[in-house]
Amino acid sequence: MDDDVISQVIILILLILFSAILSASEAAFVNFNKSRLKNISGNGNKNLVLELDDNYENLMSTILITGTILKITAVSLEIYILSNYLSVFSATLVAVLTILFIVEIPAKGLAKFSPEKHAVFLAPILKLLVFLCTPVNFTLTSLKSVFYKILKTEIQPFMTEDELITMIDEVENEGVINKNESDLIRSAIEFSETVVEDIYTPRIDIVGIDEDESLEEIREKFLISGYSRLPVFQGDMDNIVGVLHEKDFYQALNRKEKDIRKLVSKILYVTPNKKISELLKELQLSKAHMAVVIDEYGGTEGLVTMEDIIEELVGEIWDEHDEVFEWFKKIGEDKFLISCNADIDDMFELFGIEPDEELDVTTVNGWITMLFEEIPEAGGRIVYKDLDITVTKAEAKRVLEIQVEKIDNELNLTK
């Protein structure tokens, strides 16, 4: 073997080695975990790893560009060397298999096994390469921005909300977190997208005080409702002017005061589409605990409290005076009594069915009224998909409770 061939073999080995390093780098930075990185003993190059990860696009561009160049060069050189001893086809096949089984699979496999340690070890080399490739990366980033503008394509987030929730489900299934913890995380994720309309108490269920009512009538409303705060209105519920706290009322009663107007504290006014995350901040800043939900005509549509908002995060909050209420009461196998104030999506989830179309209603009452195309009386019955639905309680203006039983698909009838 002459000197030229020996030199070519040495260069080939170096090309393969550097290609393997770049393949390992790619796998390490794709798979490393920041939390586990912090637990690695010694400082090392942890900060450098995090710095490279913050410029992830430039890092990946550098790895892909330099890695591709090295692999193409290595394959070409190996084919050139082997063509003196093998056919072109055989030389090409051996060169490709060399890259696959010596560079790609082993290097990436080892890096995935301990990505944090590999990332720390390879960080200085990658930092140098990123610096050397700065002009190329700048050009590619500029071209990408131009293409996005021409194609009017929005840059997608690294992870969508649905993907994050799926990941939480997987972590829960693996036993890393329990159900309560996963439910709390899901609630926190969905919290920013929830609007007032999803949680408010509708107007028909509001217990309010007319400011001209007698003290005895007010006392009776506090006793019967069990609420510590009640909205105060002038004339009718469309003109809510503030909130009366039970403690302030009884203190005034002990002082034999008769006018409650000076005891009324301020209340906020919001629209149904306001996000509850924003409303919570407003309630905290204004030191208020309640907000009136107004419709497009300025009338009262509902009422939302700070407790309603917090319950979206942590679930129902019961105190010693609350009557525990079940939205879905199981009375038999696949048979439930359901409050019509319950969320319709929760009911569909309970029975594992999908509606035929997107619904414009949020409560079971709204959905039942839509199905019957009127307000049904108690005893009204209808079958939807594989649900046998019977109205058990109703008023003149709304349905209060239904009985729902899941039936055999063979008996499935649709309205």
Q: Is residue 309 part of a domain?
A: yes
Q: Which residues contact 49 (CB under 8 A, 6 or more apart)?
A: 29, 32, 37, 119, 120, 123
Q: Write down which residue in 284, 314, 344 finishes a domain.
A: 314
Quick one: 102 and 12 in the same domain? yes
pLDDT tens by residue, the chain, 415 residues: 566 778 888 998 998 998 888 888 888 888 877 767 766 655 567 778 888 888 888 888 888 888 888 889 989 988 988 888 888 889 899 988 888 888 888 888 888 888 888 888 888 888 888 888 888 888 877 777 777 677 665 555 555 666 677 777 777 787 777 777 777 777 777 777 788 988 888 888 899 999 888 888 999 998 888 888 999 999 889 999 999 999 999 888 888 887 888 888 888 999 999 999 899 999 989 888 899 999 888 899 999 998 888 888 776 665 555 555 677 888 888 889 999 888 888 888 888 888 877 777 888 888 999 888 888 989 999 998 888 999 999 888 888 999 999 887 554 444 4
Q: Is residue 323 part of a domain?
A: no
Quick one: 65 and 116 in the same domain? yes
Antiparallel, parallel or unpaired: β 240-245 and 268-270: unpaired
Quick one: 85 and 205 in the same domain? no
Q: What is the CATH number of the domain that holds 287?
A: 3.10.580.10
Q: Write down which residue in 286, 314, 342 finishes a domain.
A: 314
The pTM of the full predicted model, rounded to 2 decimals, is 0.53
Q: Is residue 269 part of a domain?
A: yes
Quick one: 131 and 10 in the same domain? yes
Quick one: 299 and 254 in the same domain? yes
Quick one: 300 and 358 in the same domain? no
Q: Is residue 61 part of a domain?
A: yes
> What is the count of structural domains for the chain?
4
Phi, psi of 95 (to 5 degrees): -65, -45
- Residue range(s) defining the domain that contains residue 167: 161-191
